[in-house]
Structure 1
C-alpha cells in the first residue's frame, strides 16, 4: 500500500482549510504565511483573493470618515499626531453639525454606504455626546447613508445612547497585539479597549476593529494580532499601515515594505475569511497605486475613500475607477442594513 503524502506547505493547508471549509488560520499558521518569501507572494495573494470571493463575494464597501473633534487628545498613542502630549502639528478643533451633514452628502455622492464620525478623545464627555447626537440626527434626516462612530472608550450608558441614536457600527481599534500594546500606548490598556468592544457587540451595533501594521511589532506579534481579532469576530477590520508622523514617538520609524504589507493583507484574510477587510490609512505611502490594485486582488473587500484624519488619501475617483476596472461592484446601501 502506498502511504499518502502529508503536505506541510502552508498555502496548500490554507487552500483546504480556509478556501474549501471557511475555517480561518490559527496564529501559528498565520505566522507561517507571514514568513513566506517574496517568491510565493503572488501565489499567496491569489489564494487570498479566492477566499475573499468565495466567502465574502465581489462587492466592495466604500466608506468616508470625518473628524468631529481633532487634536488635543490626552492619550499617548505613539503613532498619533492628535495627541496633546507630543510636539506634533495638529491642534484642537471642532466641526459644526452643518459641516458634518455636508461631508456626509459628499461622501454619499461617491457611492459610499458608510460615514464614520471620529473624535480624538479618550472617551466622549457630555458635550461630545450631544454634538454626536445632533450630527447623527441631522445626517439621518438628510442623507441616505449609514452612520458609524469612533469616539474612544465608552461607558455602558454611552453605548446605549449611541445605539438609540441609530449608530449601526462602532469603530474602536485594538491597534496591535496584546503583547505589544504597552509599547504603543501607556495611558490606557488593551483590555479597556476590549471591554468597550464587548459592550458595543452586546448592544447590537456592528463592531469595527483593526489596527496599524509597521509599528515595530514582530511577525509573531502580527500573527498574534490576527488571532486576537479572530477571537473578537468583528464585522469589519480596517488595516492601517504606519505613516510616521513628525513629532510622535514613532515619527522616525521606517515605512513598512510593500511586500510585507501585502503579505499581511493576505494573511489577515486567511485568518478572517468572512470578515470585511478594509484598506485604511497609510496604504498610499506604503503601497502606492500598484499596491492598491494588488491588495484589492489579495483579500481586501472594503476601502476608505478620500482623506483620513490627519493625512491625505487617494482621490475617491481613483479608487472608484479601479473598482470599476476590476469589475468589483460597490456594495449597495440595502446590503449593509
Structure 2
C-alpha cells in the first residue's frame, strides 16, 4: 500500500481533527471520534495510517520494541474464554503441558539473541497457585543468571500478595488483557468478569510494574464496541497494548467466526494509535493470517511500534528473521536493552 503525502489527511474531517488533537497536542481521540476513524472509507485508509505513523514517531520515537513469549503451562485452563484453545472446557486439540526451567532459560537466551529486550512467561491458568509462583520465582532467578533481558509475566488474575511478590522479584511488566469491550465481554467470557480483570490491572500499576493490557479484535464485536474498547484501554493508561486479531481455533465457540478483513484490521491499528499516542502498540497474534506480509508492513507504517517475534502460545507466527529483516528494510531501529530497576 502506498502512503500518500501528508496534505491528503485534510480531505477527511476526523483526520484533520486528529492531526491537531493527537499529533500536535498529544491528546487521544474520544470514543465517538474513534468510531469515525473506524468508519472511514477504504480510500481514506492510507491517510489514516500515515497520520498514525506520524503520531507514533512524534510521541513514542522511532525505536521498535521486540519481545518473545513462551508458555510455562499450556492448556487445561478452567476459564471459558471463547477464543482460546487452551480452555479445558472445550473440545480443543490443546492439552495440558508444563515446560521445565532449563527450557525456559534456553528460550530466554534465544529470544535475547534476536535483539529482543522483553521475555514474557505465560501460564494458562485462572490465577497462579503457590506451586506456580514458586516455579516463576525459580525461573526468574535462573534467567537473570543466564542472560540480560527484561522479564514479563502473564499468569491470569492475581491477589495483592502475588502482585507484591512479582514486583519484589523484579518482574518488569505484567500482561493481563481486557480482550474486548466491557459491553461485549459477557459474549466472550462467562467464568469471570470484566471487573475482575480491571482489579488485577489496577494492582499491577499500583505496585510499580508496567502494565501490558491488550485487545483481541475480530470476535464479532461491532465497530461501536471496537471504539469502546480502544477508549477503555486508553482510560486504563497501560504502558503497552498488544493488538491481537482473531485466529479462529478448532474446538472453540469462535471456530467459525471467520477471519477479520485486513483493511478493517489496519483501520483498527490506526484508531488504537490515535486513541493512545504514547503507548507501546504491539503486533501480536493473528496478524499473519489477517494481514499477510503486505498488511504487516502497512501496520508498521501505521502506528505499530513493537512486535512479538517467533511463535505465539498455540499458533505459529512469522519467522523471527522475517520480522527483523522487515524492520531493517523499513529503517526502523530495534530498541536497545535497558535493565528495569
| Cα pair 2:12 2:44 within 8 Å, conserved | no
- 2:196 aligned with 1:188, yes or no? no
1:4 maps to which residue? none
2:259 maps to which residue? 255
State how 1:125-136 maps to structure 2 within 5 Å.
125-136=129-140
Would you identify which runs of 4 or more consecutive aligned residues in structure 1 move more than 6 Å? none
State how 1:64-75 maps to structure 2 within 5 Å.
64-75=68-79
- 2:33 aligned with 1:25, yes or no? no
1:336 is displaced (CA, Å) by 6.4
Q: Provide the alpha-carbon RMSD of the alignment.
A: 1.2
Q: Deviations over 1:140-170 (max 9, x none)?
A: 1111000000000000000001011110100
How high is the TM-score relative to the length of structure 2? 0.96
1:38 maps to which residue? 42
Q: Give distance in 1, aligned partners of 2:148 and 2:295.
A: 32
Q: Number of residues paired by the alignment?
A: 332
How high is the TM-score relative to the length of structure 1? 0.97
- 1:142 corresponds, among 141, 146, 153, to 146
| Cα pair 1:113 1:336 within 8 Å, conserved | no
SS at structure 2 position matched to 1:333: coil
State how 1:303-322 maps to structure 2 within 5 Å.
303-322=307-326
SS at structure 2 position matched to 1:334: coil
Q: Deviations over 1:56-94 (max 9, x none)?
A: 011000000000000000000000000000000000010
| Cα pair 2:244 2:283 within 8 Å, conserved | yes
| Cα pair 1:241 1:281 within 8 Å, conserved | yes
Gaps of 5+ in 1: 1-6
1:12 maps to which residue? 16
1:189 is displaced (CA, Å) by 0.2
Distance verdict in 2 for CA 1:8–1:284, change over 3 Å:
closer
Distance verdict in 2 for CA 1:322–1:219, change over 3 Å:
same
2:4 maps to which residue? none
2:116 maps to which residue? 112
2:277 maps to which residue? 273
Gaps of 5+ in 2: 1-10
